[in-house]
């Protein structure tokens, strides 16, 4: 039986601005997304049956049809029934390293890996735009998870423009193990609290979209001016998540007091990250925050910026 083993990296948001409501009911966003070398391993193995089966040891990850990886497989089956007839189902093994419900796109990245892996397993010969279209149907972050690197994401987050790589940056991520934030809750609460200031008219939305492409963070990345990039770190969702979760606010404040280049909550949280320029400094900052907060529920990860999305795992196929 053929199989592919893939690395599915997490992402952080260096920038997240909510611009307004789109006619399709989603939020119009402007984001800068960055892949990091903290990733799940996703193995897709043809199983000669008519089923997809998810295998994952993580207690918070469902192994049923609600798993985003399962939904990715179903989407390909619906779109390419002849391939499914010919090749059959697959076992999907997820070795979870990315914290769950953490604003790091773990589920999205798993779904991206299944699209890429099954595409190879079924010899579909899809083009990047075709794969991108399928990914967009599943979730807004999934197209980015496929290509990865550094990118500007607009629309509902699925319209991508690659940006020059940001190299040599390290990230310290911290998350309270027992704390998860629902992405849907964060966006709904934002709409309730700040909806009155949304851009609504199409011409205004178009003007704002245009402005995003020459915004300060995009310019700083184009110039590879890392100091300027870290000055531009921004996440609108902090306005609703930090007041609701004082622990997360305290964590962010503790990072701010350390010798970091910058700090921010990622996506809808509750993960907070800080940037630095070496692994040694990252280790020092981790120790300092751990000592200051002294909370055994707090987990840390250190990762590096990478310029890739879904990749074959080294040494296996």
Catalytic residues: 11, 141
Q: Where are the alpha helices (DSSP H) in 36-182?
A: 68-79, 81-87, 106-121, 128-138, 142-147
Using CB under 6 A as the binding criterion, the count of chain residues that bind ligand ATP stands at 22
Q: Which is nearer to ligand ATP, 65 or 317 (CB)?
A: 65
Taking CB under 6 A as the rule, which mask of x and - marks residues 170-189 in contact with ligand ATP?
A: -------------x------
The residue nearest ligand ATP at its CB is 107
Q: Hey, which bits of the chain come out as E strands?
A: 3-21, 27-46, 52-56, 90-95, 150-154, 159-162, 170-176, 234-235, 262-265, 272-276, 298-304, 311-312
Q: Are 63 and 181 in contact (CB under 8 A)?
A: no
Distance CA 89, CA 85 (A): 9
Binding flag, residue 103, ligand ATP (CB under 6 A): yes
Q: Cβ(259)–Cβ(250) under 8 Å?
A: no
CB 124 to ligand ATP: min, Å: 22
Q: Is 101 annotated as a binding residue?
A: yes
For 35, half-sphere exposure in the C-beta direction (CA atoms, 13 angstrom radius) is 29
Query: Residue 254 interacts with ligand ATP (CB under 6 A)?
Result: no
Interaction of residue 9 with ligand ATP, rule CB under 6 A: no
With CB under 6 A as the contact rule, which of the stretches 25-33, 57-65, 79-87, 252-260 interacts with ligand ATP? Answer: 57-65
Sites for ligand ATP among residues 122-161 (CB under 6 A): 141
* Residue 113 is assigned to a ligand binding site: no
The verdict on whether residue 46 carries a ligand-binding annotation is no
Choose the stretch contacting ligand ATP; rule: CB under 6 A; options: 106-114, 117-125, 149-157, 252-260: 106-114
Residue in the block written with tokens 């899809």:
126
The answer to whether 269 and 237 have CB atoms below 8 angstroms apart is yes
Residue 241 annotated as binding site = no
Cβ–Cβ < 8 Å for 271, 174: yes
Pick the piece of the chain touching ligand ATP (CB under 6 A) from 63-71, 160-168, 212-220, 250-258.
63-71
| Secondary structure class of 263 (helix, strand, coil) | strand
Binding mask 207-246 for ligand ATP (x = CB under 6 A): ----------------------------------------
214 among annotated binding-site residues: no
Residue 149's Cβ-count burial label (10 Å; 0-12, 13-18, 19+) is buried
Rounded CA gap, 309 and 293, in Å? Answer: 33
CB of 284 to ligand ATP, least distance (A): 27
The annotation places the binding site for ATP at 99-109
Binding site for ligand ATP (CB under 6 A): 60-62, 66-69, 94, 100-108, 110, 141, 183, 267-268
């Amino acid at each position: 039986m053929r199989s592919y083993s893939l690395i599915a990296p997490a992402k952080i948001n260096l920038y997240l601005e909510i611009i307004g409501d789109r006619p399709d009911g989603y939020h119009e966003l402007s984001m800068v997304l960055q892949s990091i070398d903290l990733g799940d391993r996703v193995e897709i193995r043809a199983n000669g049956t008519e089923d997809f089966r998810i295998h994952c040891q993580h207690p918070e990850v469902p192994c049923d049809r609600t798993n985003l990886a399962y939904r990715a497989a179903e989407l390909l089956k619906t779109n390419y029934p002849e391939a499914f007839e010919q090749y059959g189902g697959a076992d999907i093994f997820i070795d979870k390293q990315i914290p769950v419900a953490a604003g790091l796109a773990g589920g999205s990245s798993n779904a991206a890996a299944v699209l890429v892996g099954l595409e190879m397993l079924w010899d579909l010969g899809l083009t990047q735009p075709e794969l991108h279209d399928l990914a967009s149907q599943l979730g807004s972050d999934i197209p980015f998870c496929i290509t990865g690197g550094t990118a500007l994401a607009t629309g509902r987050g699925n319209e991508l423009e690659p940006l020059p790589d940001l190299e040599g940056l390290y990230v310290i991520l911290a998350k309270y193990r027992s704390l998860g934030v629902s992405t849907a809750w964060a966006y709904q609460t934002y709409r309730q609290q700040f909806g009155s200031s949304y851009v609504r008219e199409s011409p205004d939305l178009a003007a704002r979209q245009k402005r995003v492409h020459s915004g300060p963070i995009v310019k700083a990345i184009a110039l590879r001016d890392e100091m300027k990039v870290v000055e531009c770190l921004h996440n609108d969702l902090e306005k609703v998540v930090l007041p609701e979760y004082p622990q997360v606010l305290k964590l962010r404040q503790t990072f701010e007091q350390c010798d970091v280049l910058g700090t921010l909550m990622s996506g809808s949280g509750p993960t907070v990250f800080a940037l630095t320029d070496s692994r040694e400094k990252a280790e020092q900052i981790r120790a300092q925050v751990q000592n200051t907060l002294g909370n055994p529920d707090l987990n840390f990860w250190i990762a590096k910026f990478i310029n890739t999305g879904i990749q074959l795992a080294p040494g296996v196929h």
